[in-house]
């Protein structure tokens, strides 16, 4: 996992959107994709079923251009949420610099969220990564749904955010909170860059 290559003057961040099925991971990527100028985005690769469920993964490369003399690229991935695609999830997680956990705010999805969170933890462990050491942010998606159906961000924090990582309410479909989330994870990842460069 080489985040910064000082010789080639490159920064490459791999950010994985993780979460239960139908929580809105791909929607996040689509929103980002739509806002990135053509010149800066690569082709978004999406392997979906006919019913628009992610089968394999989505991949969106973004070229941020020269930043402080570094050619900076972000690679956004999503994992398939369905329980039976765990091997794919593990594969995608490999070498991730940061993870966005996209939770479905609907109250009835709480168990799925918890299960997926545990799955994230165990998959990371299989890669020898301690979830406590990896940059992670929580996104509570679908906050635009009627209040009676969803849990408030504070409640979701209580239920899911044991580590007290940054969390963002979002409505990925319309974009609210999408870039805030991306910014949040980017900052964590890039701060590690400062800490990770010989200090």
Partner 1 sequence: MTSALNPRYTFENFVVGAANRLAATAGRTVAENPGSAYNPLFVYSGPGLGKTHLLMGVGHTAKQLTPGLNIEYLTLDEWVEAFHAAVAAGQGDAFRRRFQNVDVLLVDDVQFLSNRKEMQSELLRLTEALQVAGRQIVLTSDRPPAEIGDLDARLISRLSGGLVVDIGAPDYETRVAILRRKAEERGASFRPGVLEAVADAPLTNVRELMGAVNRLMAHQAVNDSPIDGEAAKRLLGIGAAAPPGAPSAAVGRGGAGVSPPSPPAVDEFGAFLADVAVTVGRAVEAWRTRVAEEILRWEGEGYRTHRLEALLDQNSPAAVDEAIAAFVRDVERLKVLELEVAQLDPAVAGQSVFRDPERIRDAEEEAARVRAGAAPPPAPSPAFPLSAYAVGPSNQVAVSAVRAVLERPGKKYSPLVLVGHSGCGKTHLLNALGLELAHANGAIVACLSTQAFIDELIAAIDANRVDWWRARYRRVTALLLDDVHLVAGKERTQEELFNLFNLLQDRERQLVFTAPAPPNTLAGIEERIASRLEGGLVVELKAPDRDVKRAVVERILTQQDLAPEPPLLDYLADRPADSVRSLVAAAQRVMSAAGAQDVPVTVGLAREVLEGTSPQEEGGAEDGRERRGGGRAGPRTSGVVVSSLGSIKSREKTVWDWPDVPDRLIEDFR
Which spans of this chain sit near partner 1 (rule: CB under 8 A)? 4, 6-7, 9, 11, 32, 35-37, 40, 64-65, 67-70, 72, 140, 142-147, 150, 152-153, 169-171, 174-180, 182-183, 186-187, 190-191, 193-194, 197-199
Tokens of 157: 């924090």
Report, in Å, the least distance between residue 99 CB and partner 1: 18
Of the two residues 37 and 128, which places its CB atom closer to partner 1 in the complex? 37
Q: Which helix (H) or strand (E) holds 120?
A: helix 110-126
Report, in Å, the least distance between residue 146 CB and partner 1: 7
User: Quick one: CA torsion of 13, 125, 167, 14, rounded to 10 degrees?
Assistant: 10
Report, in Å, the least distance between residue 69 CB and partner 1: 7
Q: Is 65 helix (H, G, I), strand (E, B) or coil?
A: strand
Report, in Å, the least distance between residue 68 CB and partner 1: 5
Strands of the chain (E only): list them: 4-5, 10-18, 45-48, 54-67, 70-78, 98-104, 136-141, 167-169
Q: Which of 92, 90, 40 is nearest to 61 (CA)?
A: 40
Of the two residues 131 and 190, which places its CB atom closer to partner 1 in the complex? 190
């Amino acid at each position: 996992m080489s985040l910064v290559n000082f010789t080639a003057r490159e920064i490459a961040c791999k950010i994985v959107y993780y979460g239960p099925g139908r929580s809105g991971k791909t929607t996040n990527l689509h929103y980002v994709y739509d806002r990135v100028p053509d010149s800066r985005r690569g082709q978004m690769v999406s392997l979906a079923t006919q019913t628009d469920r992610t089968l394999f993964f989505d991949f969106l490369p973004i070229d941020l251009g020269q930043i402080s003399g570094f050619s900076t690229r972000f690679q956004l991935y999503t994992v398939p949420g369905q329980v039976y695609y765990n091997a794919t999830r593990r594969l995608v997680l490999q070498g991730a610099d940061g993870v966005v956990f996209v939770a479905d705010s609907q109250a009835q999805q709480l168990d799925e969220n918890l299960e997926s969170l545990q799955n994230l933890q165990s998959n990371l462990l299989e890669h020898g990564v301690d979830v406590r050491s990896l940059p992670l942010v929580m996104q509570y998606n679908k906050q635009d749904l009627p209040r009676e159906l969803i849990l408030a961000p504070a409640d979701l924090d209580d239920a899911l955010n044991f580590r007290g990582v940054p969390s963002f309410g979002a409505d990925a479909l319309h974009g609210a909170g999408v870039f805030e989330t991306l910014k949040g994870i980017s900052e964590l990842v890039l701060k590690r860059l400062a800490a990770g460069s010989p200090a």
